[in-house]
């Protein structure tokens, strides 16, 4: 199916463990983004990528690592999970980046709980 | 002060009512203004997009931007139960944080049949 898919949908892990959230898009969009959504904070940008092999930090990058070896995939890794990383994570893609960014397509999210 | 402020609600209205959702912002560099709708346990989806000041209408939805007051609004006419969702304002512009889209925290709306 065309679109942007995230996996897993739900994940429970323990502090200190490494966790990887997957994101795959079928539109060949150049730009991909990772956001986390927390009550009272809204969506905050973790990392973004303008193209394969090009990534950059967003607002809250600490404790996260990304890679983009292929245009369609943009995995997010929590190197050593902490409770403060309990959140809902959204991957998004867009055909164009700055300055318009007018249409972000979001996945359905991964709900991550760190115990 | 957060860059984008939005009343979190929740807002509850009867079916058929006119709904007004608002955001204020602090950074005058914002030029592109968006509204996203997010249903429970789903990702946000783009609802409206406007550039600079003015109004834009799309069916029952009207987006307004007042750059002089740093204030944007989304109006929903003849609201329906299917409009029950969280509405996120978003904006971007050169010179803003990371030159990427900044989201408000969202307003939760319930339309009661």
Report residue B16 as tokens.
Answer: 């058929």
The chain A residue lying nearest B49, using CA atoms, is A102
The chain B residue lying nearest A107, using CA atoms, is B43
Q: What is the rounded CA–CA span in Å between residue A109 and residue B44?
A: 10
- At residue B101, does pLDDT exceed 70? yes
Q: B37-83, pLDDT tens digit by residue?
A: 999 999 999 999 988 888 999 999 999 999 999 999 999 999 999 99
Task: List residues in chain B touching A: CB distance below 8 A.
Answer: 4, 6, 8, 31-32, 34, 36, 41-46, 49, 88, 92-94, 97-101, 103-106
Can you give the residue ranges of every domain in chain A? Answer: 4-114
Confidence of residue B29 (pLDDT cuts 50, 70, 90): confident
Domains and CATH numbers, chain B: 4-112 (2.60.40.10)
Please name which of A29, A84, A33 lies closest in space to residue B100, comparing C-alpha atoms. Answer: A33
Dihedral angle sign, alpha carbons of residues A39, A101, B99, B89: negative
- Average per-residue pLDDT for chain B: 90
**Which pLDDT score, from 0 to 100, does residue B20 have?**
96
Q: A39-78, pLDDT tens digit by residue?
A: 878 899 999 998 999 999 988 999 999 999 999 999 999 9
As a residue count, chain A comes to 115
Report residue A88 as tokens.
Answer: 């809902």
Confidence of residue A20 (pLDDT cuts 50, 70, 90): very high
CATH class for the domain made up of A4-114: mainly beta
Residue B104 near residue B23, CB atoms below 8 Å: yes
């Amino acid at each position: 199916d065309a679109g942007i898919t995230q996996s897993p949908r739900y994940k429970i892990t323990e502090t200190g463990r490494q966790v990887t959230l997957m994101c795959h898009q079928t539109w060949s969009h150049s730009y991909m983004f990772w956001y986390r959504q927390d009550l009272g904070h809204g969506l905050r940008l973790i990392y973004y990528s303008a193209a394969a092999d090009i990534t950059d930090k967003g607002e809250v990058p600490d404790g996260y690592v990304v890679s983009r070896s292929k245009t369609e995939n943009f995995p997010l890794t929590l190197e050593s999970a902490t409770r403060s990383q309990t959140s809902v994570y959204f991957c998004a893609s867009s055909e164009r980046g700055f300055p318009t960014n007018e249409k972000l397509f979001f996945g359905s999210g991964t709900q991550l709980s760190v115990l | 002060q957060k860059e984008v402020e939005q009343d979190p609600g929740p807002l509850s209205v009867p079916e058929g009512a006119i709904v007004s959702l608002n955001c204020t912002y602090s950074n005058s560099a914002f030029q592109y203004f968006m509204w996203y709708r997010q249903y429970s346990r789903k990702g946000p989806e783009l609802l409206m997009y406007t550039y600079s000041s003015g109004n834009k209408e799309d069916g029952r939805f009207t987006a307004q931007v007042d750059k002089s007051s740093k204030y944007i609004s989304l109006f929903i006419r003849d609201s329906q139960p299917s409009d029950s969702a969280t509405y996120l304002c978003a904006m971007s512009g050169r010179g803003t944080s990371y030159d990427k889209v900044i989201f408000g925290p969202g307003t939760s709306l319930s339309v009661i049949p």
